């Protein structure tokens, strides 16, 4: 009714209630918004408890998962995150900076993953990713994994974590990951966020 997108409303709530520069408090405030006000399709606190190694997320949305992953970065590490929707990227950028992460620690790249991935090395300086978190369009998971392979952007022993492969589902990605012989595949059961 207000004409303000819910992502912007969530950010306005963060501005009013979150402690700037405190990633944990920013995430807690985000969770309060999602539990009490409006649902956003963020990773959420339950899935977010399993914080892996330094990441390259595909699919940023409002920045929740990016902040979650960035707070676990070792000193000197850099996180690259990709978001196709410029409106969501604008909100995510503000959330990431509100949490206290500068451009040297977290680089938000706006554009379609199929255009961004081939340029990650030459344009953004990513040599190899130790961890990739896929949480974007499920139909793009397989294509993007194969692009990462083609451009040799996965470090040896890299972890690829793909959200929601069973529901709403990414069956071609899952079949490839299980049968191509390049990966040890494990499916983790999780609840929906919030």
| Catalytic (active-site) positions | 135, 138, 163-164, 193
The burial of 23, by beta-carbon neighbours within 10 Å (0-12 exposed, 13-18 middle, 19 or more buried), is given as buried
DSSP structure string for 52-119: -SS-EEE--TTSHHHHHHHTTPPTT--EEEEES-HHHHHHHHHHHHHTT--TTTEEEEES-HHHHGGG
Neighbour count for residue 79 (Cβ, 10 Å): 23
């Amino acid at each position: 009714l207000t004409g303000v997108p819910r992502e912007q409303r969530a950010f306005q709530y963060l501005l009013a209630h979150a402690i700037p520069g405190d990633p944990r408090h920013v995430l807690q405030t985000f969770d309060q918004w999602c539990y009490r006000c409006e649902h956003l399709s963020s990773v959420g606190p339950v899935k977010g408890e399993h914080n892996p190694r330094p990441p390259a997320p595909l699919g940023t949305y409002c920045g929740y998962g990016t902040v979650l992953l960035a707070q676990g970065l070792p000193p000197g590490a850099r996180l690259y995150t990709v978001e196709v929707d410029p409106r969501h990227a604008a909100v995510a950028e503000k959330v990431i900076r509100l949490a206290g992460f500068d451009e040297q620690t977290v680089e938000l790249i706006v554009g379609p993953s199929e255009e961004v991935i081939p340029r990650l090395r030459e344009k953004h300086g990513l040599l190899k990713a130790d961890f990739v978190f896929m949480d974007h369009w499920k139909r793009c998971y397989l294509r993007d994994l194969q692009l990462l392979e083609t451009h040799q952007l996965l470090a040896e022993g890299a972890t690829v974590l793909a959200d929601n492969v069973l529901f709403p589902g990414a069956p071609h990605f899952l079949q490839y990951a299980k049968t191509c012989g390049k990966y040890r595949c494990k499916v983790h059961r999780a609840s929906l966020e919030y």
